[in-house]
Amino acid sequence: MTQPLVTIIMPAFNRAKYIREALISLLEDTWIPKEIIVVDDGSTDETAFIVKSFPEVLYIYQEHQGVAVARNTALENATGDYVTFLDSDDLWMPGRLAYSLNFFENNPEIDYILAKLELFLEEGCAIPEGFRQSRLDSPLDSEGTGVLMAKKACFNRVGKFNPMFRKGEDLEWIARASDEGLKMGRIPFVAVRVRIHDQNTTFLDKTDHRLIVFKIVRDSIHRKKNG
C-alpha cells in the first residue's frame, strides 16, 4: 500500500543561527515519503546558503512579506496529501509523522489534528519577565502551526492563512476551519520543542494576544451573521 506524502512547511526570516538544527531534526524523522519546503521571506543573513546545503529541501525565496504569506507560498507549491509545519527556530520530535498518520488512518472523519509542544529556553537566555516556570516543566496544548497537521484538502475548503494577521495567523485559520465545520482531533504526542530566545519572546505579550483573539472572535461572529 502506498504511503501518503506529507508536505512539511518551514517559513524562515534571518534564521541562520537556528535553521540547520531545525532541518536536521526534521530530516531525522524516518517517515518516507515527505516533502520539505522552506520559504525564505527575504533573509539577509546566511539562511539561503544553509538551506541550499540540504538537497532534500525545496528552497523558495520571496521578498519580505511576513510569515503568513511565506506559508501561503509554500502551500501553493505543496503536493502532499497532508500538510504540517515547523518554525525555523524550533525542533521536530522523532516519530511525529508516523504517530500522526496512524491517528488519521484510525480516525478518517478527522480533518486536522493538534498535538502538544514543549517549551525550552535557549542556552544563556533568561526566563522572560512574567513567564511561569511551570510552562517549561510539562507538555502544553497549543493551537499554533507548530502542532498542526491537516489534510491538504482542508486548505482548499478553508483557504490559506490571512496575511492581514502578522501574528496569530494560525489561530485565525483554526477559527475559520471551525466555522467551516471541519473536524479537529487532539493527540497526546509532543510534536515540537519550541525554543524561547531573545528574538521570539514577543509571543508572551498578553495584551497583544488579547487583541488578536478579540479580532478573531469578531471576524467569526461576522462570518456567521453573513453566512
> Is residue 11 reached through a cis peptide bond, with omega within 30 degrees of 0 on the bond before it?
no
pLDDT value of residue 209: 64
For 87, left (φ over 0), alpha (ψ -120 to 50), or beta? beta
Segment 42-63 mean pLDDT: 98
Segment 88-93 mean pLDDT: 97
pLDDT value of residue 156: 95
pLDDT at 4 over 70: yes
pLDDT value of residue 217: 66
Confidence of residue 227 (pLDDT cuts 50, 70, 90): low
Residue 195's beta-bridge partner residues?
A: 120
**When comparing pLDDT for 208 and 59, which is higher?**
59
CA-nearest of 148, 204, 208 to 174 is: 148
pLDDT tens, position by position, 137-182: 899 999 899 999 999 999 999 999 999 887 889 999 999 999 999 9
Q: What are the chain's domains?
A: 6-226 (3.90.550.10)
pLDDT tens, position by position, 131-143: 777 788 899 999 8
Distance separating alpha carbons of residues 23 and 147, to the nearest angstrom: 16
pLDDT value of residue 84: 98
